[in-house]
Homo-oligomer: A and B are copies of this chain.
Amino acid sequence: MNETEFGYIKWLQKRLKYSPDVLVGSGDDAAVVKIGKDSQLYVTTDTIVEGIDFYLKSAEPEQIGYKSIAISISDLAAMGGGFSHVYALLSFSAPKRLFKSEFTRPLYSGIAQICKKFNVQLIGGDISSTAGSLTITSTLFGVGNAIKPILRSGAQAGDAILVTGKLGGSILGKHLNFTPRLKEATLLAKKYQINSMIDISDGLLADLNHILEASKTGALIDAVNIPINPELYMGNPKILNRQSTILRHALTDGEDFELLFTAPMKDAVRIIRDKDLKKTGVSIIGLIQKQKGIFLCNTKGKISKVKPEGYTHF
């Protein structure tokens, strides 16, 4: 969920007051409402558009279907996971020429694959034709019982900054076949004190900045500790011929869909040693500090302030 560019939610919020059952309104990875006595409903919606989020020439229909649900699972994960049930609705606007089984069958197959993998129940949807681009909107609902959402706003000065997996693989196609970190988020929230969390959709620096702004803190990150996707070194030599370029991809490329989170150092050192997280891998990449802004310690040990660059939708 990302609406900062449009600013519309803020405008509307002034006009529409929330009742107390809205535990988390717009502005985090998912909204959270209280249902009944001890259930919480986590909801998130994401739209992917042909020509923006994927290209029909380079993405398989199966990957498009997979991605449409996976990005929303990633948003739910970033709230801390722990759901007893997850439901999905899908809305398609498609040009008529795509309504042939060569396209729809693998598209649905990709949807079925991700739903099975994460036990997501697809309970409805809507179909429209369009003269424009293929557009898919997914809305996911996670139901939790007495679980506490992990927000962007909880980072504390002194927290370690951690990230799952490896970064920078998006341009190599990872954005079409990534594994949302729902299992990892559930484990982290259950076993450790996690103060803030977000998924990396806009880019490491940009999403870190979302945490920092919401938490009114700053950060120091260490270039040496950024976990870089090793395939980047084997990538296109034209783009990826320099260490600095590779680091830049890891810092600013959108759609890595890894978890970026902060935790007290005593938890952080246990997290990076957790056997159940070994396969995914978790790295400590820096520290939350009182001084605002993002400071990067480069490979030569020089510290400088960096701009929270990343993918902006407009």
Contact = CB atoms under 8 A, between A and B. Distances in A.
B19 A121 contact: yes
Contact of A46 (B11, B91, B135): B91
Interface in A84-102: 85, 87, 89-93, 96, 99
Contact of A130 (B8, B39, B133): B133
Interface string A1-41: 11101101101110110110110011000110101111101
A164 interface: no
Contacts of A11: 108
Given A26-B124, A125-B1, A129-B313, A47 B91 contact: yes
This chain: how many copies in the complex?
Answer: 2
A25 to B, nearest CB: 5
Contacts of A127: 2-3, 5-6, 8, 47, 313-314
B124 A43 contact: yes
A145 interface: yes
Interface in A108-130: 108, 111-112, 115-116, 121-130
A130 B35 contact: no
A50 B133 CA distance: 12
Interface stretch (A136-144, A168-176, A257-265): A136-144
Given A45-B91, A91-B46, A125 B8 contact: yes
Given A45-B137, A91-B47, A111-B12, A124 B1 contact: yes
A314 B129 CA distance: 7
Contacts of A130: 49, 51-52, 132-133, 135
24 contacts: A1-B126, A2-B126, A8-B108, A8-B127, A9-B125, A11-B108, A13-B122, A16-B121, A22-B87, A33-B87, A43-B123, A43-B124, A43-B139, A45-B90, A45-B125, A45-B139, A46-B126, A47-B91, A47-B137, A49-B132, A51-B130, A51-B131, A96-B314, A135-B135
